[in-house]
Structure 1
Amino acid sequence: MAKTKTLKVLLEGIPIGVLQEDPSGKHTFTYYQESPSDARLSLSMPRRVEAWTGEPVEAYIDGILPDDPSIRQRIARKYSVNARNPFALLTAVGLDCGGGVQFVDAQKDINTALGEQITPITEEQIGERLMSITGSQQASWQNEGEHWSLNGAQDKIALRFTNGQWYEAEGAAATTHIIKPGIRGLHEQAFNEYLCLKTAEQLGIPVAMTEYRIFGTVPAIVSERWDRIVNDDVIPAAVRRVHQEDLCQAMGVMTAKKYQSDGGPSAVNIVQFLRDNDFPEDDVRLFFTALVFNFFIAGSDAHAKNYAILEPVGQSAHLAPLYDIASLFPYTTNRKDRKLAMSIGGEYSWERIELRHWKKLAAQLGGQSDQVILEELLVEFALRSIFVFARVAEETLAWVHRLPGITDEDFENKRRVVSSISNGLAQQSDRVLSWAG
């Protein structure tokens, strides 16, 4: 007879509850009542005595895993589990997830299960791993011994960088960096993302700390995980997990509905959620800033899973730095595809959005002050973004040209990306300034 399966759930190293799957496949999450009262797995599942089940649980555990079904299939093949069962996948790769959460098989001794090992890896070997995940759907997403799970649709690997050395993190060892070779089929996508994030940073927007690197022959964007705190003053370095979740998880929305057009959260839903949960108005302003910036760069993938909330145990929750920001301007698209992930006042197309749509968004939120903030951001970015981007692009092209392995063709492709984004920004800026007469 089938039995209920159990995973112990740890948050920042503290046991806080159990995730269970009964013989029918139903999932429940139950808090340990003796765990710290401020240790909460998700904003969608406040602490209570009764078990949580249904949409909040399913949305949370589904959201911990990679979005791409082919990546889930790779994990499933490697560990001989069901790719369509998130509980089974977390049994295999739940020791190093996004945020401070870890899932440990209840049948295993917890100290043994949380054993850690790190193995040095060269930049050439990193390049080989990146090449393998971009070159074949059958390639392994992880190496033997790795048990990490990162959500999102892009191919990526997670490694540790401490004491000046790259490591593969095995067992329950925490990774510190995410390395992405860019989206297959989109030329220079990693370079595009780097430029957009650096431009946002220079505009004063909190973003993930990133580098553009060449590993062997593979270009990639390297992001420092904001949900990890590293102490490099000791050898080996100490890495502490900090809890976080994306907005779909926090709002109890399944990954399949991450886009507003698929029934997912809208800008209005998100602002109301932040205010209903007593987030500071600075976080609301950061979200407004992200909306406006993505409008200017034609950032078409800023759905709810590409916003995250940092929730350190014992501290107030707040919006995490922005990430996964890239422009669609460099790529030829059909007019129907030229749209944002969230509508502005009911309009998705960045070519059709006018001032009246931003005013309508503010009206939907019910506040004149919101309209003032949005209009201020629109004017600020119209006046500054093209010049900030030009400076970032010029500085970046100067050092990228000297990177080993960059061919003349590679460099010209990068110049083409720069030109496309620059032209798109100029057009958007001119449109916005024309609204003021």
Structure 2
Amino acid sequence: MKVLHMVLDGYQVGRLEQDDHGATRVNAFRDTGLPRISLAFPPSEIPVTPRLTRAYLAGILPDTPEAREAMAGRLGVSPGSQFAMLKEMGADCPGAIQFLSDSQMEAGGIDAGELVPVDDVEIAARLRDLRAGGEDWGARGEHWSLGGAQKKFALRRERGQWHRAEGTRATSHIVKPGIDRFQSQALVEHISLRTLGVLGLRVAETEFVRFDGEPALVVTRFDRVRESAEGVLRRAHHEDLCQSTSTLPADKYDVSAASVVTTLRMHGAAEETIQEFVKALIANWVLAAPDAHAKNFSVFLDQDGIADLAPLYDVSTGLGYPDADRLAMGFGGEKIIRKITGRHLLNFASQVGVDGEGVLLSAQAFAKVMPWAFATATADAGAGDLHDRQWLIRTADRLDAHCAHVLTMLERTD
């Protein structure tokens, strides 16, 4: 039997066990007084089934087989073994759970290792490698893991200086080159998130940065809490809604809004949290942001279940980009962005048990002010080259037209 210790805020809350046949199971301890590991399985003396374990761990590792194969190759492990990969890169994961070996526990546990300074030239080299087709997100000495399909890597920033986090040290930021086949995508994602922030939604804190000329979206991790100016970072526990619903990342587009709301209510989410989720879905539609699937929503967990919805992340308008005409989660049976009407929203509200008139009013309000919010966010960003600025002007024009169309479609309630 091989074992990794599952540690949350310095306390062991479970074990990841692999038997002699390669079957891997989570054993979630009871009565820890700490946040539960996942909504998908309760703490119990009985280990979680391999199927549920696989879905939970899949949310912690990169989605794409290309990334897993490249990272496993560097680490000298099998890309098909979640246990083997987390043994090498599970020291700093999405949320607060760390997967630590006996030797890591003995060497100092949750926050041991070096912070190695890196400069803009080194960061730019990593961005260029990913843009050129590189699939290995990590670097020698790093032991973090990130989920999702987009290429990215994690760093630590202390007093304005960037570092690679080695050992079990926590990372503080995620650096994304953006989707290179889409014009100015990193900047558009930054402005899209800022747009929703202008409208009062809670969003991840982002910056658009050029490292030695290489553009990147820098995301401040909302699952890391700085306790002091001396560099103490605590991990805050959350999971994405694919993990919560035991859905593999490959099936993330199959999770419906209704099933998400059912899961949220089942695990004690306040009605304010339900309303926040519904408003986020509406805002994604009005922004024409197609990728609000279950992996792009997360919940903070406590001992009893859901503590709160996490800030929005990975939101980017698809206006002007190919294959961006469908929502990940539709309304009332319709996913095609331009075909959604007021009737679809009313049917959706009935399905999830919220006030239909309130849903319509939220959509109308967003559609009336979204172009202004986008313009405000663009002005605040103050970044980008000539090609970026030209693309943003065209995107703003497309958003104006789209929001006018949304207001017309909302009138169709019969």
Relative to the length of structure 1, the TM-score reads: 0.89
1:189-231 residue CA offsets vs partner (Å, 9 max, x unmatched): 1111111101100100000011111111111111111100113
Question: Relative to 1, partners in 2 of residues 1:288 and 1:410: Cα closer, same or farther, differing over 3 Å?
Answer: closer
Report deviation, 1:387. 1.9
Report deviation, 1:183. 1.0
Counterpart for residue 328 of structure 1: 318
Counterpart for residue 384 of structure 1: 369
Counterpart for residue 248 of structure 1: 242
Question: Relative to 1, partners in 2 of residues 1:146 and 1:121: Cα closer, same or farther, differing over 3 Å?
Answer: same
Counterpart for residue 26 of structure 1: 23
Report deviation, 1:156. 0.7
- Report if the CA contact (8 A) 1:243-1:313 is conserved: no
Q: Secondary structure at the match of 1:206?
A: coil
- Report if the CA contact (8 A) 1:186-1:331 is conserved: yes
Counterpart for residue 179 of structure 1: 175
1:163-183 residue CA offsets vs partner (Å, 9 max, x unmatched): 221111111110001111101
Counterpart for residue 333 of structure 2: 346
Q: Secondary structure at the match of 1:171?
A: coil
Counterpart for residue 257 of structure 1: 251
1:408-435 residue CA offsets vs partner (Å, 9 max, x unmatched): 3343234333333343334324433x44
- Report if the CA contact (8 A) 2:299-2:306 is conserved: no
- Report if the CA contact (8 A) 1:63-1:151 is conserved: yes
2:393 alignment partner AA: R
1:237-280 residue CA offsets vs partner (Å, 9 max, x unmatched): 111111111011112222121112xxxx2110011111111101
- Report if the CA contact (8 A) 1:134-1:181 is conserved: yes
Counterpart for residue 86 of structure 2: 90
Counterpart for residue 391 of structure 2: 413
- Report if the CA contact (8 A) 1:67-1:152 is conserved: yes
Report deviation, 1:108. 5.4
How high is the sequence identity, in percent, across the aligned residues?
34
Question: Relative to 1, partners in 2 of residues 1:296 and 1:81: Cα closer, same or farther, differing over 3 Å?
Answer: same
Q: Secondary structure at the match of 1:174?
A: coil
2:27 alignment partner AA: T
Give the aligned CA root-mean-square deviation in angstroms.
Answer: 2.1
Counterpart for residue 307 of structure 2: 317
Greater shift, 369-378 or 222-231, is seen at 369-378
- Report if the CA contact (8 A) 1:38-1:314 is conserved: no
Greater shift, 387-396 or 74-83, is seen at 387-396
**Partners of 2:348 and 2:302 in 1: CA distance:** 31
1:74 alignment partner AA: A
Report deviation, 1:121. 1.1
**Partners of 1:144 and 1:319 in 2: CA distance:** 34
Does residue 81 in structure 1 map to residue 103 in structure 2? no
Relative to the length of structure 2, the TM-score reads: 0.94
Q: Secondary structure at the match of 2:15?
A: strand
1:400 alignment partner AA: A
Report deviation, 1:95. 0.4
Q: 1:290 aligns with which of 272, 280, 304?
A: 280
Counterpart for residue 357 of structure 2: 372
- Report if the CA contact (8 A) 1:296-1:429 is conserved: no
User: Where does the alignment leave 5 or more consecutive residues of structure 1 unmatched?
Assistant: none
Does residue 165 in structure 1 map to residue 161 in structure 2? yes
1:47-70 residue CA offsets vs partner (Å, 9 max, x unmatched): 112111133211111111111211
- Report if the CA contact (8 A) 1:21-1:27 is conserved: yes
1:131-168 residue CA offsets vs partner (Å, 9 max, x unmatched): 11121235x32111001101011111111112221111
1:348-375 residue CA offsets vs partner (Å, 9 max, x unmatched): 101111111111112223x3x4313311
Does residue 59 in structure 1 map to residue 44 in structure 2? no
Counterpart for residue 400 of structure 1: 383
**Partners of 1:346 and 1:430 in 2: CA distance:** 19
1:254 alignment partner AA: L
Q: Secondary structure at the match of 2:116?
A: strand
Q: Secondary structure at the match of 2:44?
A: coil
- Report if the CA contact (8 A) 1:283-1:319 is conserved: yes
Counterpart for residue 348 of structure 2: 361
**Partners of 1:409 and 1:229 in 2: CA distance:** 36
Does residue 275 in structure 1 map to residue 265 in structure 2? yes
**Partners of 1:226 and 1:109 in 2: CA distance:** 25
Question: Relative to 1, partners in 2 of residues 1:277 and 1:171: Cα closer, same or farther, differing over 3 Å?
Answer: same
Report deviation, 1:313. 6.1
- Report if the CA contact (8 A) 2:36-2:304 is conserved: no
1:419 alignment partner AA: D
**Partners of 2:96 and 2:217 in 1: CA distance:** 23
User: Where does the alignment leave 5 or more consecutive residues of structure 2 unmatched?
Assistant: none
Counterpart for residue 189 of structure 2: 193
Q: 1:428 aligns with which of 406, 410, 413?
A: 406
**Partners of 2:404 and 2:189 in 1: CA distance:** 18
